[in-house]
Amino acid sequence: MAKTYFTEDHEWLSVDGNVATVGITDYAQEQLGDLVFVDLPEVGRKLAKGDTAVVVESVKAASDVYAPLDGEITEVNGALSGDPALVNSAAATDGWLWKMKLADEGQLAGLLDEAGYKAHIG
Amino acid sequence: MTGDATKTLPLEDLHQAAGAKFGAFAGWSMPLTYPAGVMKEHQHTREHVGLFDISHMKLFAVSGAGAAALLNRACPIDAEALEVSQSKLTFFLNDEAGILDDLIVTRLGADRFMVVANAGNAIADEAHLKALARDFDARVEPLDRVFLAIQGPEAEAVLAKAGVDGSSLTFMHGFEPRPNWFMSRSGYTGEDGFEIGLPEADARALLGQLLADERAMWIGLAARDSLRLEAGLCLHGNDISPDTDPASGALMWAVPKEIRSSGTFIGADALRAIVEKGAARKRVGLKPEGRQPVRGGAALFDADGNPAGTVTSGGFGPSAGHPVAMGYVSTPLAKAGTKLFADVRGTRVPVEVSALPFTPHRYRKG
pLDDT tens per residue across span B305-355: 999 999 999 999 999 999 999 999 999 999 999 999 999 999 999 999 999
Q: Does residue B280 sit in the same domain as residue B340?
A: yes
Q: Does B39 contact A34 at a Cβ distance shorter than 8 Å?
A: yes
Q: Does residue B323 sit in the same domain as residue B201?
A: no
Q: Is residue B291 within 8 angstroms of chain A, CB to CB?
A: yes
Asked whether residue B87 is domain-assigned, the answer is no
pLDDT at B4: 62
Percent of chain A with pLDDT over 70: 100
Q: Is residue A60 within 8 angstroms of chain B, CB to CB?
A: yes
Q: Does residue B259 sit in the same domain as residue B333?
A: yes
Asked whether residue B245 is domain-assigned, the answer is no
Task: CATH number of the domain at A79, please.
Answer: 2.40.50.100
Q: Does A84 contact B291 at a Cβ distance shorter than 8 Å?
A: yes
Asked whether residue B157 is domain-assigned, the answer is yes
Chain B hits for A57, CB-CB cut-off 8 Å, are: 292-293, 316
Asked whether residue A80 is domain-assigned, the answer is yes
**Does residue B2 surpass a pLDDT of 50?**
no
Q: What would the mean pLDDT of A27-48 be, rounded to a whole number?
A: 95
Q: How far is A15 from chain B (nearest CA, A)?
A: 30
Q: Is residue B220 within 8 angstroms of chain A, CB to CB?
A: no
Do B31 and B21 contact (CB within 8 A), yes or no? yes
Q: Does A36 contact B316 at a Cβ distance shorter than 8 Å?
A: yes
State how many domains chain B has.
2
Q: Is residue B346 within 8 angstroms of chain A, CB to CB?
A: no
Helix (H, G, I), strand (E, B) or coil at B124: helix
Q: Is residue A27 within 8 angstroms of chain B, CB to CB?
A: no
**Does residue B240 surpass a pLDDT of 60?**
yes
Asked whether residue B173 is domain-assigned, the answer is yes
Q: Does B316 contact A57 at a Cβ distance shorter than 8 Å?
A: yes
Q: Does residue B350 sit in the same domain as residue B256?
A: yes
Q: What would the mean pLDDT of B61-90 be, rounded to a whole number?
A: 98
| C-alpha span between B16 and A122 (Å, rounded) | 19
Q: Does residue B256 sit in the same domain as residue B332?
A: yes
Asked whether residue B29 is domain-assigned, the answer is yes
Q: Does residue B200 sit in the same domain as residue B348?
A: no
Q: Does residue B281 sit in the same domain as residue B322?
A: yes
Q: Is residue A89 within 8 angstroms of chain B, CB to CB?
A: no
- Domain span including residue A25: 3-104
Per-residue pLDDT band for B1 (boundaries 50, 70, 90) equals: very low
**Exposure string over B126-148, b if 16+ CB within 10 A, otherwise e:** bebbeebbeebebbbebeebbbb
Between chain A and chain B, the number of residue pairs with CB atoms below 8 A apart is: 44
State how many domains chain A has.
1
